[in-house]
Structure formats: structure tokens, C-alpha cells
């Protein structure tokens, strides 16, 4: 089967800072007809990733045994923290030798890197700031709670803290440009990590109090007023409770509440990060993003890391930080689809840089790409498994990379969708072309081993339409039946079902499926327990 990569004649660049053709090979985000995709070395790139544990990449010695495990998982991208305290142990004196070697080792294993800048904040705290920052509290003041107690959190209102963080990130981006501009091993950078205010909803330090009593910045009020009809429901509802005022101090505009405190902090955190991003892109314009520790339902600001790039604050962050390319969720809560739905509002691109490394990750990785047209997926502490080659994620990542050109092209043209199923959600219906596809969990077949058990695995497939009556279906644990939309007079049969894989651009058939494998032509089945790629041709009869 012939496949091709997206042509520049019909795509437009999304971000002005990345549009110059003189930088045509720099990793960048490109908007097609239906999605925004990451391009690396002129090809659409799907991230089959994994994030290292926080301290794993602190020494080269510790990484020696990790690289083979990452390769066994079929990763094509590893997310690696960069620790401000290690790269600038003395002010103005930088040492990037660790990261230079990690880049070289990644190349040996044919992997890409996303670096995570652990600068002013990591999981709300400033634990990775250098000692010269931590010890000079007059120059680098801490955030304070309502009682005036200082926290292990640098205040985002400190110009000195911003300048120091900015200078360090600028030096790091300069190093990346000098080290990697011709190779493109590094494809993105995360700015800070899980920013958020604790244990109060906002900073009460002197500089923060002065800002809180000042008028809401005109840039924010203009943004909210102009986009009032498009704001996320949580924000417009909150603004409406105080009468949709468009000028005044923070409490005059939004009212006196912890939610107001959080909006105030979100604006100032985002402005701080935007300055970092602006400086970084001026040096080396890689795609940049921020990640969020999610808010627990029912918890108030201050009980969770408040004011980070959370979905109910998405408009605040987009208004304050135009130099960021997207906001990303770290997913450790249930309701995967709910959070993904929230993070794909406001034209935000979905990328999951962290997910608990559990038995659901392979299905969710595929679903996030196929259904949400996401950039990719990354379980946390990816090096933690004893036998990584035996993980189902290894098979899934291998499969995604096998169909990556086909899948990327389908994303660009809006010809792919996916389902995510478990015992609580046993069925999902897709509409593609003239067909209605009923997708059911494999365990809904009573003869499937495990169907009578309580613990049904989470399963998923990607469905790619390649012609009016032809599809590729890839994944595991799903049974699909077909019918014509809005026409009960026609029935749909399976003309041909083949299992196989791509070898280069050629489709290689490993099995012709019929008989018991298709229930005598009744359905397409991808059994639980192993990944499968099937090419399906349909026909109609009366």
C-alpha cells in the first residue's frame, strides 16, 4: 500500500516563531486540516515516551543500566529532568556535561529527548534551586501563607528569581543549540514542573500583597472581554458571580474568595513562565510546554497545587503565556477521558507527559493519539519495571511506530478515531464515512477467556479509514461490527480481513483471517492480550 508524508502545500504553521523556512528542519508544531502535529526531521512524529524518575538521570553511572530497559520498551522518546542546582552550582558558572553525554547516549539508542526544566519550581516546591539561591532569602524571597510563614517556594513576584531562572534556562538553550541543532535529538522542552501554590491559595509575601491590591492587568481584562463567549465554562461562571466587571482590583473584579486568589496567582505564575519561554525561544525555538498536577474534585485552592496550568484556568494561562505552545496534564486520577476532554478545549494540543505506570497505560496511549489526535504519551518512572520487554506497553509502542506514517497521515486528514473500553464502559460507537462501527470489549463475547472475571483489562483500538470501504484497525481487546448509517436496507459483510505489519511502506500479511477468527464473517476481533494490526475490506449486500 502506498503511503506518503504530509505535504507542505496544504499545511500551515501554527506558531509564528517557528515559521521561517530557514529553520525548516527544526522540531516544530505544524497545523494540518484537522490537527496539530509534531514534526521532527520533516516527518510527523508520535511520541512513544516515558519519563524517568526524578533522580534517575542525576549521574551517568545510574543511567548505564536504564538505556537497555528503555529500548526494550520500544520507547522512541525519553523525558529527562534537568536540575538547576546541578547545571549552575555557582552563580554564572554552568556545567552541562551530564546532559551532553545523555544526548550522545540517546543517539546511540536512536531515541529522542524531551528535557524537563526543573528550575524555580518542581511539584510546587523550589527544591531544585541552587544553594546560592536558597541561602539568599533577601534577594530571592519565599512565598508566604496567610500567617506570613515562608514556604519552600520561590515567590513568582521576585524580579531577581525570574532573572536568575531566566539566565540559567537561556544558558541551557544555548547549550542545546550548540550541541544538537544539526541532530535534533532534543525535540521539546518542558518549562518548570507542576507549578502550583501550597498550602494557601496565593502568595501573601509583601510583593504579592502589593500586586493583589493593584488593578487587574488590562491585558487580562481585554482578553477576557474579547473572548467572553469562548471562555471555558468554569471561568465564565466564576466571573459572572461578581457581575462580569471589567476593571478594578482582583477582589473588585472577581470577588473575595480562594478562587480569586487562584486566578491572581495563575496570571502571575504564567507571566513568569512566559518570560522564561520568550527568552528560551529567542535562543533556540523548540516547542515549549508546561505540565500540571491536577486538582482533586471537591478540594479548594490551596489544598491542591493551585494556580498551575489547570483546565479551569486554561484561559488565564493562554492569555498570560502566549510563548508557550500548549498545556499538559499529569494524569494520576481516574476519568482519563474527562481530563483529556478538558485539556483539548481552547484548541489546546493533547500531550500526556506523565501517567501512573499501571496496567492501563498501553490502551490509554493509543486512545490519546487516535481519538484526541494527541502528540503522544509518557508513563512516569518508566525505568521501574523488572522485565520491561514483557510489558504490554512494549508491544503497543512497537505497533504504533510500525503504523506511524499511516497513523500520522490519517490524523492530518481526520481519518482516524479510537475507543477506550473497560468493564464500566463496554461499548462505544464510531461514525466513519458511511459506516457506523459498534466497538465492544472483547470480554463481551461469552467464550472469551476471562469474560466471567471481575477484572476486565482496559482495551483500545485505533480505526483508520483508508478508503470508502477499507480500514486499518490496530490495538487489542476490541470486537467491531459494521453497518451503514441511516440505511437499514443494506447489510455489511467482511470482504477481506488480513493481519500483518508494515515493512517499510509495504503491507506484509502474516495471517488471512476468517472462520472462527471473524465469527464466520460477523465481526472483526482483536483479542485481548496481544496487539494486532488488521486490514479490513467491507462490502454491502441486501
Contacts of 395 (CB under 8 A, 6+ apart): 74, 362, 530, 531
28, 79, 100, 170, 172 from 82: Cα distances, Å: 21, 10, 12, 13, 9
In a domain, 159, yes or no: yes
Last residue of a domain, one of 380, 413, 446: 413
**Are residue 444 and residue 526 in the same domain, yes or no?**
yes
Q: How many CB atoms within 10 Å of residue 135? A: 10
In a domain, 227, yes or no: no
**Are residue 518 and residue 427 in the same domain, yes or no?**
yes
In the prediction, which pLDDT does 9 show? 28
Report the Cα 82 to chain-centroid distance in Å.
19
Mean pLDDT by 10 residues, the chain (542 residues): 31 35 74 94 96 96 96 98 98 98 98 98 97 97 96 98 98 98 97 97 97 98 97 97 96 97 98 98 98 94 97 98 98 96 98 97 98 98 94 97 97 97 97 97 94 94 98 98 91 97 96 94 95 97 90
**Are residue 408 and residue 426 in the same domain, yes or no?**
no
Domain tally, the chain = 2
Say how many CA atoms lie within 13 Å of 246 toward its Cβ.
9
Candidates 220, 89, 207; CA nearest to 159 is 207
In a domain, 249, yes or no: no
**Are residue 354 and residue 493 in the same domain, yes or no?**
no
In a domain, 20, yes or no: no
**Are residue 364 and residue 503 in the same domain, yes or no?**
no
In a domain, 30, yes or no: no
57, 58, 155 from 65: Cα distances, Å: 11, 13, 38
Contact 457, 528 (CB under 8 A): yes
Q: Which domain holds residue 474?
A: 416-541
In the prediction, which pLDDT does 487 show? 87
Judged by DSSP in three states, 132 sits in helix
**Are residue 372 and residue 421 in the same domain, yes or no?**
no
Last residue of a domain, one of 413, 434, 465: 413
Candidates 120, 145, 275; CA nearest to 200 is 145
In a domain, 12, yes or no: no
Last residue of a domain, one of 356, 378, 413: 413
In the prediction, which pLDDT does 489 show? 86
Judged by DSSP in three states, 36 sits in strand
User: Rounded to an integer, what distance in angstroms lies between the CA atom of residue 378 and that of residue 369?
Assistant: 12
User: Rounded to an integer, what distance in angstroms lies between the CA atom of residue 99 and that of residue 60?
Assistant: 9
In the prediction, which pLDDT does 17 show? 37
433: left (phi over 0), alpha (psi -120 to 50) or beta: left
DSSP string, 140-198: SPEEE-TT--EEEEE-TT-HHHHHHHHHHHHHHHHHHHHHHTTT--EEEEEEEES--B-
**Are residue 405 and residue 436 in the same domain, yes or no?**
no
Helix or strand run (H / E) with residue 343: helix 336-343
In the prediction, which pLDDT does 24 show? 53
| CATH code, 426 | 2.60.220.20
Judged by DSSP in three states, 345 sits in helix
Candidates 23, 526, 10, 21; CA nearest to 285 is 23
**Are residue 390 and residue 434 in the same domain, yes or no?**
no
H-type alpha helices, 45-158: 60-63, 66-72, 84-87, 97-108, 131-134
In the prediction, which pLDDT does 113 show? 98
In a domain, 238, yes or no: no
- Looking up cell 542545546 gives 176
**Are residue 526 and residue 445 in the same domain, yes or no?**
yes
User: Rounded to an integer, what distance in angstroms lies between the CA atom of residue 84 and that of residue 403?
Assistant: 38
**Are residue 488 and residue 536 in the same domain, yes or no?**
yes
In the prediction, which pLDDT does 450 show? 87
In the prediction, which pLDDT does 488 show? 83
Judged by DSSP in three states, 56 sits in helix
Amino acid at each position: 500500500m502506498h503511503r506518503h508524508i504530509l505535504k507542505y502545500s496544504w499545511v500551515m504553521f501554527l506558531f509564528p516563531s517557528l515559521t521561517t523556512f530557514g529553520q525548516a528542519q527544526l522540531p516544530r508544531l505544524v497545523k494540518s486540516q484537522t490537527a496539530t502535529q509534531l514534526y521532527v526531521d520533516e516527518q510527523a512524529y508520535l511520541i512513544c515516551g516515558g519519563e524517568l524518575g526524578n533522580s534517575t538521570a542525576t549521574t551517568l553511572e545510574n543511567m548505564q543500566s536504564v538505556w537497555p530497559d528503555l529500548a526494550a520498551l520500544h520507547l522512541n522518546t525519553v523525558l529527562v529532568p534537568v536540575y538547576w542546582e546541578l547545571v549552575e552550582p555557582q552563580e554564572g558558572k554552568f556545567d552541562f556535561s551530564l546532559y551532553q553525554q545523555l544526548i550522545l547516549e540517546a543517539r546511540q539508542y536512536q531515541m529522542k529527548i524531551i528535557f524537563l526544566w526543573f528550575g524555580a519550581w518542581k511539584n510546587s516546591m523550589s527544591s531544585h534551586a541552587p544553594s546560592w539561591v536558597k541561602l539568599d532569602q533577601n534577594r530571592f524571597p519565599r512565598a508566604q501563607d496567610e500567617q506570613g510563614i515562608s514556604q519552600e517556594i520561590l515567590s513568582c513576584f521576585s524580579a531577581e528569581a525570574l532573572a536568575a531562572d531566566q539566565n540559567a534556562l537561556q544558558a541551557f538553550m544555548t547549550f542545546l543549540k550548540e550541541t544538537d541543532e544539526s541532530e535534533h535529538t532534543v525535540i521539546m522542552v518542558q518549562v518548570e514542573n507542576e507549578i502550583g501554590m501550597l498550602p494557601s491559595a496565593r502568595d501573601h509575601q509583601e510583593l504579592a500583597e502589593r500586586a493583589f491590591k493593584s488593578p487587574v492587568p488590562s491585558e487580562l481584562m481585554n482578553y477576557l472581554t474579547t473572548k467572553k463567549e469562548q471562555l471555558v465554562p468554569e471561568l465564565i461562571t466564576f466571573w459572572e458571580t461578581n457581575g462580569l466587571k471589567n476593571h478594578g482590583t482582583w477582589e473588585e473584579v472577581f470577588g473575595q474568595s480562594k478562587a480569586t486568589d487562584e486566578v491572581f496567582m495563575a496570571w502571575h505564575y504564567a507571566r513568569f513562565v512566559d518570560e522564561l519561554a520568550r527568552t528560551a525561544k529567542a535562543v533556540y525555538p523548540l516547542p515549549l510546554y508546561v505540565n500540571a498536577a491536577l486538582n482533586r474534585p471537591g478540594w479548594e485552592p490551596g489544598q491542591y497545587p493551585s494556580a498551575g496550568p489547570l483546565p479551569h484556568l486554561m484561559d488565564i494561562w493562554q492569555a498570560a503565556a502566549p510563548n508557550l505552545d500548549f498545556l499538559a496534564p499529569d494524569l494520576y486520577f481516574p476519568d482519563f477521558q474527562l481530563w483529556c476532554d478538558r485539556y483539548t478545549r481552547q484548541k489546546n494540543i493533547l500531550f500526556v507527559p506523565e501517567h501512573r505506570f499501571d496496567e492501563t497505560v498501553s490502551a490509554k496511549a493509543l486512545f490519546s493519539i487516535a481519538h484526541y489526535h494527541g502528540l503522544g504519551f509518557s508513563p512516569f518512572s518508566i525505568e521501574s519495571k523488572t522485565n520491561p520487554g514483557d510489558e504490554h506497553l512494549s508491544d503497543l509502542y512497537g505497533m504504533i511506530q510500525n503504523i506511524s506514517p499511516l497513523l500520522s497521515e490519517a490524523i492530518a486528514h481526520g481519518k482516524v478515531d479510537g475507543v477506550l473500553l473497560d468493564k464500566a464502559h463496554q461499548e462505544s460507537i464510531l461514525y466513519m464515512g458511511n459506516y457506523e462501527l459498534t466497538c465492544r470489549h472483547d470480554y463481551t463475547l461469552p467464550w472469551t477467556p476471562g469474560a466471567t472475571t471481575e477484572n476486565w483489562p482496559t482495551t483500545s483500538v485505533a480505526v483508520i479509514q483508508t478508503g470508502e470501504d477499507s480500514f486499518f484497525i490496530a490495538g487489542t481487546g476490541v470486537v467491531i461490527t459494521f453497518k451503514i448509517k441511516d440505511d437499514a436496507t443494506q447489510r455489511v459483510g467482511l470482504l477481506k480481513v488480513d493481519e500483518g505489519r508494515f515493512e517499510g511502506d509495504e503491507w506484509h500479511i502474516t495471517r488471512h483471517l476468517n472462520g472462527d477468527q471473524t465469527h464466520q464473517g460477523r465481526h472483526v476481533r482483536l483479542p485481548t492480550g496481544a496487539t494486532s494490526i488488521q486490514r479490513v475490506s467491507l462490502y454491502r449486500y441486501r
